[in-house]
Amino acid sequence: MRLAPQPSAQPLRLIVLLLFTTGVITSPVLSTGCPDRCVCDDQLVVQCAGQHLTTFPVNLPLATRQLIISNNRIVELPPLALNYLSDLVYLDCSNNSLTEISESTFGNLRKLAYLDLSFNTLTRIEDRTFGPLASLVMLRMTDNPGLSEIHPDAFEENAALQVLDVSRNNLTVLNITSLIALPALRSVGLSGNPWRCECENEDLCLSHLDHSPPCQTVCGSPSDMQGRRLGEVGIQLRTLCHQTLGSWDYLFFVVIGFVIFAAGTVSAWVMGVIMVLYERYIKKKDEQLDDEEETSDKGRTSRFFQVFPDLQVASMFSSNCEQKGEFSVLV
Ligand SMILES: *[C@@H]1O[C@H](CO)[C@@H](O)[C@H](O)[C@H]1NC(C)=O
Ligand SMILES: *[C@@H]1O[C@H](CO)[C@@H](O)[C@H](O)[C@H]1NC(C)=O
Ligand SMILES: *[C@@H]1O[C@H](CO)[C@@H](O)[C@H](O)[C@H]1NC(C)=O
């Protein structure tokens, strides 16, 4: 049995008495003393760490500002007992056996600035769990090996939140839509989770929110992404996730393709018809011209060569040379 050391309780009572007599404290704050196996000091700090507690300590001073119940085996935070402590600023519940935090657990802790839920066995965080914690600045929730689900809006109302650590849990997805909207947030720890590097996590990968030591925030799945850093796959995901086409897009392409094909076929047919007609027209015209020439020029030249037969060969030769000359100039 480890009881609170007697020497510290004595001065505490003295101080309480002193405070009462001087009228500094008017509420029945510290009159209830200190819980079993805990140490309470005059700064309203209640220290119950490592005392093999299995239940939440009872008989806590109502004005407790800091409560440390780490390194025990407490399985539940009773909402009723906790919500009496409306002045609580600091609550360390790390290294216990908490499996569930209900939506009413922190209902009245409006001054709470620091909350540590690390090293527990939490499995999921609901929508409204941290909602009432309007002053919460730092939330540590690491090393819960079964914690695989955090509601997208779990931190939506924690406008004062500056530091969030969810390292070394079993998280595969985290919707950061409401997280990145928090005005004061400056550091998030994401390392040691089996992140699924697919489109649903695109924002997370691109966010650069992570402030874990380098190279410890990596993808757990799919297999081709395994072990790669989140920041590194972000750009790849962005291209990958926005080139997917819906069935309407495919239908559109099929219709467009058909229209182009049909238009091409029709225009080719029309062109063909025009070409044939044009050729016929040209042929007809040529024939007419030839007929005319035969009756005029051709008759004259043949008669000319009949008169000077040697010249015909000479003229053929010269025209050949001219053609060759043209060709070589072209080359
Ligand atoms: C958790 O608490 C137990 C005692 O209950 C202690 O032995 C152990 O080292 C603590 N673990 C961590 C990680 O602090
Ligand atoms: C982590 O989550 C996966 C499913 O996403 C589950 O199969 C596994 O058992 C979980 N690990 C622990 C330690 O609970
Ligand atoms: C994230 O959560 C918001 C609601 O808080 C929702 O509108 C949004 O679609 C979610 N984003 C993803 C990628 O699931």
Within the chain, strands assigned E span: 39-40, 45-47, 66-68, 90-92, 114-116, 124-125, 138-140, 149-150, 163-165, 187-189, 195-196, 219-221
Which of these, 211, 212, 221, lies nearest to 192 by C-alpha position? 212
> Could you tell me the pLDDT band of residue 313, with boundaries at 50, 70 and 90?
very low
Q: What is the pLDDT of residues 81-137, one digit of tens each?
A: 999 999 999 999 999 999 999 889 999 999 999 999 999 999 999 998 999 999 999
Instruction: State which of 128, 175, 178 you would mutate to test the pocket of ligand 3, scoring each by most atoms of that ligand within 8 A of its C-beta.
Output: 175
Provide the pLDDT for residue 116: 97
Q: What is the pLDDT of residues 266-292, one digit of tens each?
A: 888 888 888 888 888 888 888 888 777
Q: Which atom of ligand 3 has the smallest separation from the CA of 153?
A: 5
Q: Which ligand is nearest to the CA of 169?
A: 2
Ligand 3 centroid–CA 241 distance in Å is 15
Provide the pLDDT for residue 20: 43
Instruction: State which of 95, 96, 116 you would mutate to test the pocket of ligand 1, scoring each by most atoms of that ligand within 8 A of its C-beta.
Output: 95
b/e 218-240 (16+ beta carbons within 10 angstroms → b): bbbeeeebeeebbbebbeebeee
Which of these, 115, 106, 241, 261, lies nearest to 233 by C-alpha position? 241
Tokens of 226: 């395994």
Instruction: Map out the domains of the chain as residue ranges.
Output: 263-330
Report how far residue 90's alpha carbon sits from residue 172's, in angstroms, rounded to the nearest whole number.
29
> Could you tell me the pLDDT band of residue 205, with boundaries at 50, 70 and 90?
confident
Instruction: Name the closest-CA residue to atom 9, ligand 1.
Output: 71
Residue 117: how many other CB atoms lie within 10 Å: 24
9 pLDDT higher than 50 = no
238 pLDDT higher than 60 = yes
Query: What would the DSSP string read from start to end of 27-89?
Result: SSGGGG---TT-EE-TTSEEE-TTS---SPPSS--TT--EEE--SS------HHHHHT-TT--
Provide the pLDDT for residue 14: 44
Least confident of 47-51, 233-237, 301-305, 319-323: 319-323
Q: Which ligand is nearest to the CA of 194?
A: 2
Strand-pairing partners, residue 164, are: 139, 188
Q: Which atom of ligand 3 has the smallest separation from the CA of 175?
A: 1
Average pLDDT over every residue of 186-197: 93
Report how far residue 201's alpha carbon sits from residue 206's, in angstroms, rounded to the nearest whole number.
9
Q: Which atom of ligand 3 has the smallest separation from the CA of 178?
A: 5
315 pLDDT higher than 50 = no
Q: Which amino acid is at 23?
A: G
Say if residue 222 is preceded by a cis peptide, omega within 30 of 0.
yes
Instruction: Name the closest-CA residue to atom 2, ligand 1.
Output: 71
Q: Which atom of ligand 3 has the smallest separation from the CA of 203?
A: 13
| CA distance to 59, 96, 114, 310, per residue, from 298 (Å) | 132, 117, 113, 18
List, edge to edge, every strand of the sheet that includes 138-140: 39-40, 45-47, 66-68, 90-92, 114-116, 138-140, 163-165, 187-189
Instruction: State which of 71, 72, 96, 168 you would mutate to test the pocket of ligand 1, scoring each by most atoms of that ligand within 8 A of its C-beta.
Output: 71
Q: Which atom of ligand 1 has the smallest separation from the CA of 72?
A: 5
Instruction: Name the closest-CA residue to atom 10, ligand 3.
Output: 175
> Could you tell me the pLDDT band of residue 314, with boundaries at 50, 70 and 90?
very low
306 pLDDT higher than 70 = no
Collapsing DSSP states into helix, strand and coil, what is residue 150? strand
3-state percent breakdown (helix, strand, coil) of the chain, nearest 5 = 40, 10, 50
> Could you tell me the pLDDT band of residue 295, with boundaries at 50, 70 and 90?
low
Residue 310: how many other CB atoms lie within 10 Å: 7
pTM, to two decimals: 0.68
Instruction: State which of 99, 149, 170 you would mutate to test the pocket of ligand 2, scoring each by most atoms of that ligand within 8 A of its C-beta.
Output: 170
